[in-house]
Structure 1
Amino acid sequence: MPDLVDLADAKAEMIRVLGSSATRRQHVRGVARTAANACRLLRTSEIVVSAAWLHDIGYAPELAATGLHSLDGARYLRTAGAEDRICRLVANHTHAWLEAEGRGLAEVLAAEFPAEHSLTADVLTYADLTTSPTGESIGVEARIAEILRRYPSDDVVHCSIANAAPELIATVRRVEAALAAAQPR
């Protein structure tokens, strides 16, 4: 069984499970790169980089059970023996509890994978929301707009991201401020 805290194992598991989804893999690589850079500067737990490699694993068609990719991914990771903290970070990344509400899964998500409110969790959201689908750096507002364009206005993802936008932007700004303060002078 792979040690999913180990970065090489987490990356290999992402590639194995997501398979031929080149675009998804590009995004995940960019998120992991951004998380690693932030982690280094902020001295947060490196577990965030493993979680970054694994954060979108729930998009794999064979894992999709609830429609909430973060929950499906975290459940898979739990059965694969991943550390609880990785599962909780993946389950709640990018404020997934707001989409869970729209899907009627908020209580399930909270019971199975209680959210961690920390700089480490914020770094994962920051990395996801400042990385384009092709793995390039992007501003948070442009990333949110890109997500909203991908989903019809009545889709639960569109609605939850639109409603969460102020919170998501505030999370990214907190991490940006911490990164600015951590820069060598």
Structure 2
Amino acid sequence: MVFTAHDDTVLAEAERMHGGNWMVKRRDEPSREHSRTDDAIDDILGDAALNQRNSAWPGGSPGSEPHGDERRSPLVPHAQALTLRVLAGDPARADHSAGVAARALALTPTVPAADRDTLMAAAWLHDIGYAAELRETGFHPLDGAHYLRAHGWPSQVCDLVAHHSGARFVAAVTGLGDPLSRYGFVEDAVSDALTVADQTTGPHGEELSLNQRLREKLDRHGPDSPTVRACPQREPYLRAAAGRVGQRLRLE
């Protein structure tokens, strides 16, 4: 299944999903080679995505009215709007961000309820540093985090964007470890969920296994790229995060 940012946004798709009508676009997908962890995550994500209790927003589905004093936070729609604005010239990147947000939505049962909006906002925003207008260092996690911090976004969102998907390992091979260290990193349920959402979503928003995503990055970036050179240190972290998320999903 593929969510595209410029047709139906994830928020609209989530509203339909929770209304019981799962309407998404499908694209032809390559053959999938899964590890046992990939299979477990994909199976449970499919179930979670169709379960109304797994909404990322208080009071039920995104389209429902809040109960009592509950109010939907503006954080997620603001994150979506900013992402679609700054990535307007890069539709594929916007579609990837929408796909990551869709995967994050299905993973919200693995994080505390109070952190679900933060996860969803970071999922939308994680790649905004690719936008030309935000470019400072050329390292997109850092450039995105710099922009968000300068514009008053919550520190946890800035930190998640800065460190998403093991960015610290790539920073170490590019000489950017010191500026990245100015953002906090916590290995917890939220950072794990963001990592898995990103690492199981392809460059156009398509669902991939973790193994497919790693191979895709090698093919796209080349063996001499910082992303691939950091792989020996980064890949164990990515697989461990996937294992932890899988375990949390099984406990739901």
Same fold (TM over 0.5): yes
Largest Rg, 1 or 2:
2
**Does residue 101 in structure 1 map to residue 172 in structure 2?**
yes
Number of corresponding residues: 177
**Does residue 137 in structure 1 map to residue 207 in structure 2?**
yes
- The structure 1 segments of at least 4 consecutive aligned residues displaced by more than 6 Å after TM superposition are none
Match of 1:80 in 2: 151
**What does residue range 31-46 of structure 1 map to in structure 2 within 5 Å?**
31-39=100-108, 41-44=109-112, 45-46=115-116
Structure 1: runs of 5 or more not aligned: none
Residues 82 and 5 of structure 1, relative CA distance in 2, 3 Å threshold:
farther
8 A contact 1:148–1:161 mirrored in 2: no
8 A contact 1:68–1:99 mirrored in 2: no
Q: Superposition RMSD on alpha carbons, in Å?
A: 1.4
Greater helix proportion? 1
Match of 1:29 in 2: 98
**Does residue 154 in structure 1 map to residue 224 in structure 2?**
yes
Q: TM-score under structure 2 normalisation? A: 0.67
SS at match of 1:127: helix
Which whole-Å CA distance do the structure 2 matches of 1:38 and 1:176 have between them? Answer: 10
**Does residue 171 in structure 1 map to residue 241 in structure 2?**
yes
Which whole-Å CA distance do the structure 2 matches of 1:140 and 1:55 have between them? Answer: 18
The amino acid across from 2:217 in the alignment is I
8 A contact 1:10–1:50 mirrored in 2: yes
State the Cα distance separating 1:70 from its structure 2 match. 0.2
8 A contact 2:200–2:213 mirrored in 1: yes
SS at match of 1:114: coil
State the Cα distance separating 1:5 from its structure 2 match. 6.0
Q: TM-score under structure 1 normalisation? A: 0.91
With 141-150 and 85-94 compared, the bigger mean Cα shift is at 141-150
Which whole-Å CA distance do the structure 2 matches of 1:167 and 1:155 have between them? Answer: 19
The amino acid across from 1:49 in the alignment is M
**Does residue 13 in structure 1 map to residue 82 in structure 2?**
yes
- Partner of residue 128 from structure 1, selected from 187, 198, 202: 198
8 A contact 1:5–1:83 mirrored in 2: no
State the Cα distance separating 1:67 from its structure 2 match. 2.1
